[in-house]
Every structure is written in C-alpha cells, then in structure tokens.
Amino acid sequence: MINKTEITQEALSILPPIMTANNVDVFYGKKQAISNVSLDIPENQITALIGPSGCGKSTFLRCFNRMNDTINICRVNGEIKFSGQDIYDPKVDVVALRSRIGMVFQKANPFPKSIFENVAYGPRIHGLAETKDDLESIVIQSLKRAGLYDEVSDRLSEPGTSLSGGQQQRLCIARAIAVDPQVILMDEPCSALDPIATAIIEDLMETMKEKYTIVIVTHSMQQAARVSQQTAFFHLGELVESGDTQAIFTNPIQERTQNYISGRIG
C-alpha cells in the first residue's frame, strides 16, 4: 500500500501537467465565486475536485474549456494554460479549444436525435471523417470506448433519449470522446445515477485515463477516493488543499479538509 502511494506520487511529479491554472479569479457580476486558485492538472490522471455545494468547484471546472463564456455576467481573471498556451488569450479560438477539451455534464443531455447522430455530431462539425465509413468507425469506436456499444449496437437509429439514465450518460461520454479530445471535464457525472450505473462509469473512467486526462467534480468523497489520483478540496471559492488523493484522505494538512472529509462541514 505504502509502496503504491510512493509510485503515484513519483508519477505525479515526473509527468508534466497538461493544464495549469495560475491565480484564477472568477466573478459573477460583483460576486467573487473563485479567488486566487492555482492548480496543475497532470496528464493521463484523474483529478477530482471536491467540496461542499456552492464552493465554486463546478465554476472552476467550466473555466478549463471556457464554458463560462456563455454566461454573460461571468468574468475570469488569471491564467489557465493548456499545453503551454494561455486559453484566455484573444487569439485562442474557443471552438477549437472545446474540441480538445471535452465536457460531460451533471445531467445527461443527449441531443433529441438518434444514438448514432448523437455521437456523429462532433466529428461531423469538426470534419474529422472524410467518408461515411470513417464516420461510422469513429462512432462505433467511441461507443466501444464508452462501454456502450454492446448494449446499443442493434439500435443505433433509436433516439438517444430512449436509453436509461446511466446509458445516456455513457452516450454523452462517447459523444465527448468522438471528437478525440485530450482532456475530458466531468461535472458530477454520476450524481443522478444509481450505484450500479455509477460503478460502471467509474470503471470506465479507470480505463479512459490511459488515453485521456480527466478532471471530475464530485459530491461524493468516496467516489473521489475511488477513482482519482489527485484531489483538490474547495471551500468558499478557495482551493484549500490539493495533492495526492491518498494523502488528502488519510493525512490532510489543512484543518478544513480534515473537517470536510470527516463530515463536520459541508
């Protein structure tokens, strides 16, 4: 056990971070939602953002693919780099950025279209497939990676919304994978799912991290402990503590973290 922890810590320090946030502040109008957060996201690892409701973890997650741009009154200060490039640089095309950094939302939100069309939409708008066969193989590949293909292979033309909640969420993961991103942001992907569907998705994340970097916001500390290698604890818009998951849960440095994981706040 100790041995394994040492290896992951070592791995964390060796791998260069794929995304870095430096002194990020987020404001909704005059209200400051995030203050001065700095966090590195290591490549091909799962980073969990935990904290009580309203602590700003989702807001922080949405900074990574600039989804906050869609909220008029939202303003982001500071620097977020993706592969060394500041993503808030005016030269950066947000459309291209989001094709590199996919997102899975809290509530499964398949398009009211067929399963196939749901997955094919991304590759289509980004021109990733030259021919129909290419597109089909991308769709099948993505569904397989999301662990959904076996369940839906014979009904790809059925509406995506006819699937069960867990299947819909995996369809959304497949849809995000289809555009071949490097990072996948997950905003409480399991909060509306039953334990079995949750377990399936957690297993899926475990295999996905070989190819993708995952940042997940979760309410469930157990989930964070189960799936992530790095954990960041947010409280009242501040990053209280971040580091190796094992260390955070067994031996937190900050008192607030200690209080949260033992259930005294939140």
* CB-neighbour burial class of residue 192 (10 A; exposed 0-12, middle 13-18, buried 19+): middle
Residue 41 or 176 with smaller CB distance to other proteins: 176
CA distance 245 to 247: 5
Interaction of residue 109 with other proteins, rule CB under 8 A: yes
β-partners of residue 159 are: 114
Shortest reach from residue 34's CB to other proteins, in Å: 19
Residue 14 or 96 with smaller CB distance to other proteins: 96
β-partners of residue 215 are: 47, 185
Give the single-character DSSP code of 159. Answer: B
CA distance 144 to 139: 9
The amino acid present at 175, given as its one-letter code, is R
Interaction mask 21-60, other proteins, x per CB under 8 A: ----------------------------------------
Continuous segment of H or E residues that includes residue 245 = helix 245-250
Q: Residue 63 is encoded by which pair of tokens?
A: 């900074």
Residue 65's CB is within 10 A of a number of other CB atoms, namely 24
Given the rule CB under 8 A, which of 62-70, 75-83, 209-217, 249-257 is the region that contacts other proteins? 62-70
Given the rule CB under 8 A, which of 34-42, 49-57, 90-98, 232-240 is the region that contacts other proteins? 90-98
Given the rule CB under 8 A, which of 3-11, 22-30, 121-129, 198-206 is the region that contacts other proteins? 121-129
**Strand duo 46-50 + 230-235: pairing:** parallel
Given the rule CB under 8 A, which of 5-13, 91-99, 195-203, 227-235 is the region that contacts other proteins? 91-99
Residue 66 or 256 with smaller CB distance to other proteins: 66
Q: For tokens 């964070």, what's the residue?
A: 224
Interaction mask 154-173, other proteins, x per CB under 8 A: ---x-x------------x-
Which chain residues interact with other proteins by CB under 8 A?
65, 67, 70, 72, 95-99, 102-103, 105, 107, 109-114, 121-122, 125-126, 157, 159, 172, 175-176, 179
